[in-house]
Structure 1
Amino acid sequence: MNRVVLLLFVLFKTIDAAAIELHPEVVAIQKDLINLSTHKNVGEVFERHQNVLSENNLDTQSRDLIHQFIATYFSFIGLHQRAERLYQFGQSISQQQALDNFTAYDALDEITALAKKNRLLMVNEAHHIPKHRWLTKELLIRLKREGYSYLALEALAKKDEQRINKQGYATNKSGIYMRDPAFSELISVAKELGYTLVSYDKYSYDREKEGAENIINKTFALDPDAKVIVHCGYSHIDEKHKLASILAANLHIDPLTIDQTALLSTHIPDIYKNTPVVFKSDTEQYWQPTNSHFDIAVYWPAQTQITNRPAWYMANHQRQRLNETWCNNAFPCYVEVVNNINEAIPFDRYLWLNPAIPASVRVRAGDSIFVYDKFGKQVRQLNSPFIK
């Protein structure tokens, strides 16, 4: 198989490899993701992506890949809602199906209570939805005091494992998904808490088996009493066919498997929580889609916005309101928040599309804000403390 095609299949949701013929934009958009750290013409790239999305002659497979790639790019530049709208999948269930005989409970509380009694927790994500990383980050905080000390990451490359464990943060040279500010924050929080990060994924046809062996060799084989969290993509938590099933068989442990992707296409208007929920019956049974092979399905209600950005992302951080004069009144306008650590992932990225819609970025003491025009020319630098 073409090496680029194999990489696409590993990084993104699997499609039919035998029949694929790549549209030129598939590779071009992948390069946009890779080059985001060095190419600041994000506004120009966004407009090109919009043109690609309007094409009517894309074959089904190319369209699927292009939507995934562009959705991921959107998520990296702070356009989280656009990313979610662009690429949806999973089961769409009605409100009646979800709530009949079930009650919504806080997902963090429920998962934490169950994980206390387990030694292996597996949480999945859709790669274009950074809020899924927020859930794992919050679980890391709660479960550290319950004895969890290893975090195995599908997105962590073997070549980066030692370096990130030592320095405590991801860089622009880390894996593609780690360049997302939310994933970078997950890494930093894990290291601040004292977790050992574990790389395990290998781009091969025996991926699940080799991944399981790597996790075991780096955790349970070294520490029989280990408690491990695995953060992976999509179906790897499947307890019948995938990574979770192999770990269970080899370790004789029933992993606690948490899915965040099955309900992506579902909207239940009567759930008014700002945090993810799970549905549990009076008999303590958790709602699951039919024929699923995981323990709990997590549902994310519509999220509160803070200056038109998701509350889960902005809450508990200092915020700086953007000023259209910083962009010389020319839009789209790209904003990055960075510190002085060499090659560190920006703490925030945001493509400001419309000055009529107010927006903020999240900042820390010592950060600088860099502003770029559509073509990638830097038009402003602001250093903390920032202008009110």
Structure 2
Amino acid sequence: MRPIASLSLALLLACADTTAADEPLSPYQWQQAQKVAFEKSEKVYADALKRDGLLAQYAAMRDAYRADKDRAFRIVFGQYLSWYQSFVGDYAGAHDSYSIRQLPSQDDAASPLSGGQVAKPALEAIATLAKGRKAIFLNEAHNVPLTRTLTVELLSKLRADGYTHFAAETLYSTDTDLAKRGYPTAKTGFYTMEPICAEMVRTALKLGFKVVAYESEREGNGDIREYDQAKNLYERVFKNDPTARVVVNAGYAHIQENGKYLGGRSMAQHFTRLSGIDPLTVEQTMMMEHPPGTESHPFYLAAIAQLHPTAPIVFENAKGEPWTLKPKAYDVSVVFPPAPQGEERPAWADLGGLRQAYFVAGDFCQKQFPCLVEARYADEGDDAIPADRLVLDPINAINRVNDKVIQGQIEVHGNLYLRPGRYRITGVDRENHSLARKDVTIGSGGATAPAAGTRAGKGG
């Protein structure tokens, strides 16, 4: 599986350059080192894809990353690894492996704490801002599923308001059975391999949205890809249905409304020129916590320190006009609260309370590690992307502060996050051999039929 046109060397280099300030090489030498790292990364990635099963692919990539200390390789390949860490549910690890610094910039607005701005729950405020619009574009950091959680929660409100279509980056147009089947599989897209992204598509289908694949199918990146995405979006949504209203999920600056992007225009800029529609653009990748060793924006740090939010917020002035960090590029910025310290899997995976934590202990996998644990909806096929998944692995667990060492052994466990309903929970080893399977029912108050080796409710 590969992302369509996502492995752009130009984009990877642009992101990687932001972390190379202390590299003792000339700019040209550093750029050449990154090109070599990109070629090496492609080879490691291609070799990993030959392995049988997601766990084996992830483990091969993780091992290659750990074994190679070259700075350029770790910066470039860190993005590849981070995608797969998100796929297997290691959300903290995914963010640690790849993060873009969010430094102050001359095009920043004044701090929302400087006066006249009031914090509002993002879920309600954005739903209100979207009323009467033809399109709402929400961006995400592809390896940080936190930036998908608000979109999942928003979908029901937007559908109730009359939005008709949902479109997401790197969905494959070749999956013509998606609507009939009702759930994503490995053939549906690239980022939908991550369970929250899959839940976003699954939720849209269940709510009655027409799900649209708008990814470019031409060779090339930069302006070629951006124009093709916009053209596909316009033609597949509005050309035959001028009354349509669309929710669009895209990565990073694909949704910026002004300025150059990769030497040309962004998808959103092309879309507006083609359609005449001004979308509501919701920026979700800048005002969030960044891993140790990278920088969070000082406005973010100040807002968190002063307000201590427990759910995503936005800022509005007395006229109800939203605050945005980048006034020339986006309409509104979302501020995400940080995950509490020491959590092995962040509680934001509960999707604002839509899902509950379900504790899984190591003996579910017969104490054979690493073990990939997956929970699929009972009425979906074995080809479905799981509702959630995690890896139980004592090698990783030994570095976690909250794990207990008992008689020289690590207590391996984790939480799955599941909506109320019926599931089958499975475990496989690195060779993709089955280790365990159990049917469970998650009620409104927790699990009513816990899997062997697991207990219901929140676990530490």
Superposition TM-score tier, normalisation by shorter sequence:
0.7 to 0.9
Structure 2 residue 99 is the aligned partner of structure 1 residue 88:
yes
Q: Residue 10 and residue 148 in structure 1: after superposition, are their counterparts in 2 closer, same or farther (change >3 A)?
A: farther
Aligned residue among 184, 190, 196 for 1:176: 190
Q: Residue 35 and residue 366 in structure 1: after superposition, are their counterparts in 2 closer, same or farther (change >3 A)?
A: farther
Structure 2 residue 162 is the aligned partner of structure 1 residue 147:
yes
Q: Residue 336 and residue 16 in structure 1: after superposition, are their counterparts in 2 closer, same or farther (change >3 A)?
A: same
Distance 1:177 1:110 in 2: 27
**Structure 1 partner of 2:231:** 213
In the alignment, structure 2 segments of 5+ residues that lack a partner are 16-30, 259-264, 291-295, 398-409, 441-448, 456-460
**Structure 2 partner of 1:378:** 434
Structure 2 residue 219 is the aligned partner of structure 1 residue 164:
no
**Identity rate, percent:** 27
Distance 1:252 1:44 in 2: 47
Structure 2 residue 345 is the aligned partner of structure 1 residue 309:
yes
> What is the letter of the counterpart of residue 187 of structure 2?
K
Q: Alignment partner of 2:137: what SS?
A: strand
Aligned residue among 246, 254, 259 for 2:283: 259
> What is the letter of the counterpart of residue 13 of structure 2?
I
**Structure 2 partner of 1:337:** 375
Within 5 Å, give how 1:266-305 maps onto structure 2.
Answer: 266=296, 267=301, 268-282=304-318, 284-290=320-326, 292-303=328-339
Q: Contact 2:140–2:249 (CA<8 Å) still a contact in 1?
A: yes
User: 1:372 Cα deviation (Å)?
Assistant: 3.1
Distance 1:49 1:271 in 2: 41
CA RMSD of aligned residues (A): 3.2
> What is the letter of the counterpart of residue 237 of structure 1?
I
Distance 1:6 1:142 in 2: 30
> What is the letter of the counterpart of residue 314 of structure 2?
V
Deviates more, 1:123-132 or 1:12-21: 12-21
Distance 1:11 1:170 in 2: 28
Q: Contact 1:43–1:332 (CA<8 Å) still a contact in 2?
A: no
Q: Residue 201 and residue 7 in structure 1: after superposition, are their counterparts in 2 closer, same or farther (change >3 A)?
A: closer
> What is the letter of the counterpart of residue 9 of structure 1?
L
User: 1:249 Cα deviation (Å)?
Assistant: 2.1
Within 5 Å, give how 1:192-271 maps onto structure 2.
Answer: 192-202=206-216, 203-205=218-220, 206-240=224-258, 241-264=265-288, 265=290, 266=296, 267=301, 268-271=304-307
User: 1:341 Cα deviation (Å)?
Assistant: 0.7
Q: Deviations over 1:68-113 (max 9, x none)?
A: 111111111111122122222142459x945222332211212111
Distance 2:63 2:356 in 1: 33
Q: How many residues align?
A: 378
Structure 2 residue 378 is the aligned partner of structure 1 residue 360:
no
Q: Contact 2:65–2:74 (CA<8 Å) still a contact in 1?
A: no
**Structure 2 partner of 1:326:** 364
Distance 2:187 2:9 in 1: 16
Q: Deviations over 1:125-149 (max 9, x none)?
A: 1110112222222221101111100
**Structure 2 partner of 1:64:** 75
Distance 1:168 1:6 in 2: 23
Q: Contact 1:42–1:351 (CA<8 Å) still a contact in 2?
A: no
> What is the letter of the counterpart of residue 388 of structure 2?
D
**Structure 2 partner of 1:129:** 144
Give TM-score, length-normalised by structure 2.
0.73
